[in-house]
Amino acid sequence: MKDRRSVSGFTLVELLVCMAIVAILAAMLFPVLSQARARGRAGVCQANLHHLGLAVLMYCSDHDNVLPPTFYVVWYPGPRGRAFYIMKILEPYFVDNRVIHCPEEQPGSRWGYGVNPWVRYCPIEQLGDPCGTIVMADNSGMPTHVGPPLGPVLTKDNPVERHLGMANFWFADGHVKAMKAYATVRPKMLWDRY
């Protein structure tokens, strides 16, 4: 006959302690993993904005180094014209339409980025500081333009801080940077062309 004490295995208490340890480790890991996923989506957004920036530069090279408009209207005979927004203007310059959408944008948005209206139709040579001039940024999808946060509250015309409290910005020299929206107006205004 076998003695019960000589049988090896886990007791119920040991098993519960192991499960508690695993649960505690999982609870510590989930926030880290979700933050890593958010950083990954921010990286995809920056890559999309970089591709759109390259599309803007290709548009410029085809149009005498002039930055594109935020939109333009073509008038047809009849009561209404048709507006073409910036993403439609840039469409020939990118392959995949997914680049116009930020992975963090609200479902149903037309696009996730807007153009700085203060630099539209501006020749690149006339930009005072291309490294410090914002051309495109995260926005709410409507309107097609995005501008500086001059008031105390961010509006739909301002950059959307959807990446861990930051927004992504594409500058005229080609680099993309994540910043707080208010950091674009203080200490230096990064929105005007001069």
- 3-class DSSP state of 63: coil
| 49: in domain | yes
Mean pLDDT value of segment 133-159: 76
Burial call 115-137: b when 16+ CB within 10 Å, e when fewer: bbbbbbebebeebeeeebbbbbb
- Provide the pLDDT for residue 2: 58
List the beta bridge partners of residue 160.
none
> Residue 101's closest CA among 89, 122, 87?
87
Percent of the chain's residues with pLDDT above 70: 83
**pLDDT at residue 147 is higher than 60:** yes
| 4: in domain | no
pLDDT digits (tens, 9 = 90+) for 61-83: 999 998 887 765 554 454 554 55
Percent of the chain's residues with pLDDT above 90: 26
| 24: in domain | no
Q: pLDDT tier at 86 (50, 70, 90 boundaries)? A: confident
Residue 163: domain span: 38-184
- Provide the pLDDT for residue 6: 61
pLDDT digits (tens, 9 = 90+) for 39-54: 999 999 999 999 999 9
**pLDDT at residue 194 is higher than 70:** yes
Q: pLDDT tier at 4 (50, 70, 90 boundaries)? A: low
| 155: in domain | yes
- The number of folded domains in the chain is 1
| 15: in domain | no
The helix (run of H) or strand (run of E) holding residue 73 is strand 71-75
Q: pLDDT tier at 154 (50, 70, 90 boundaries)? A: low
Terminal CA-to-CA distance of the chain, rounded, Å?
94
| 168: in domain | yes
| 113: in domain | yes
What is the rounded (10 degree) CA torsion for 62, 65, 70, 73? -50
- Provide the pLDDT for residue 29: 87
| 80: in domain | yes
